[in-house]
Amino acid sequence: MKPKEIFEVCHTRYKTLRGFLNRHVAALDWERPSESHHWRPERARAEEYIADFERIAERALRRPEWRGRLKLFRIYFLRGFEYRRAITLCGVSPSTFDYWMSEVKKTCGRDFVRAGLFPPGDYFRKRGMAGVKTTEDHSTGESRAQGRENGSREKQKGRLEESRPEILTCQD
């Protein structure tokens, strides 16, 4: 994907999560089930994504000569002002605004990939995998975590065979 498209994906997820966090949880109606299931991350992880999005973008745009682009990012992408109003608040012509917007998307998109914010699905799966360190054994292609799991299964199977030999060895 191109950096601009990456930025769009991350920004869409950012806006969705902002909306999710700003809403109040409605009471459940047990008589009427929901029309569809919508995946929602943990509240804390959603807040982390929002903070990471803002932090990574601001770091990417911190060059002194890019103050106007940082202002554009804050006004248009973070605060969500309408296009015409954002141009007025930035104090630039529409063509300059469009050029700066394109540069912001490219620069931030590249940094989102480097920082692990993209793809968002992987970002949200990382938390579950954080406690499990796996190193691959290149000779067998099996990770150490898998090897431990397989070894413990073998031990459990052995214990089961020892405790109930009549069930496992019985032939009719």
> Does any domain span residue 51?
yes
Query: What is the pTM for the complete model shown?
Result: 0.64
Rounded distance between C-alpha atoms, residue 111 and residue 117, angstroms: 8
Contacts of 153 (CB under 8 A, 6+ apart): none
What mean pLDDT, rounded, does the chain reach?
76
> Does any domain span residue 89?
yes
> Does any domain span residue 82?
yes
Quick one: DSSP state of residue 73? I
User: Whose CA is closest to 56, among 113, 130, 2?
Assistant: 113
Confidence of residue 68 (pLDDT cuts 50, 70, 90): very high
pLDDT digits over 100-127, tens only? 999 999 999 999 999 988 888 888 787 5
Query: Per-residue pLDDT for 61 more than 70?
Result: yes
pLDDT of residue 127: 56
Contacts of 69 (CB under 8 A, 6+ apart): 61, 100, 103, 104
> Does any domain span residue 79?
yes
Instruction: Give the position of tokens 């993209």.
Output: 118
Confidence of residue 43 (pLDDT cuts 50, 70, 90): confident
> Does any domain span residue 100?
yes
> Does any domain span residue 116?
yes
CA 55 centroid distance within chain = 14
Rounded distance between C-alpha atoms, residue 109 and residue 120, angstroms: 12
Q: Where are the alpha helices (DSSP H) in 23-130?
A: 43-60, 67-72, 83-90, 94-115, 120-129
Query: Which residues is 109 bridged to in the sheet?
Result: none
- 14 is in which domain, residue-wise? 3-24+40-121
**How many domains, in total, are found in the chain?**
1
pLDDT digits over 127-171, tens only? 554 444 444 444 444 444 444 445 545 554 554 445 444 444 444
Backbone angles phi, psi at 65, to 5 degrees: -75, -5
> Does any domain span residue 93?
yes
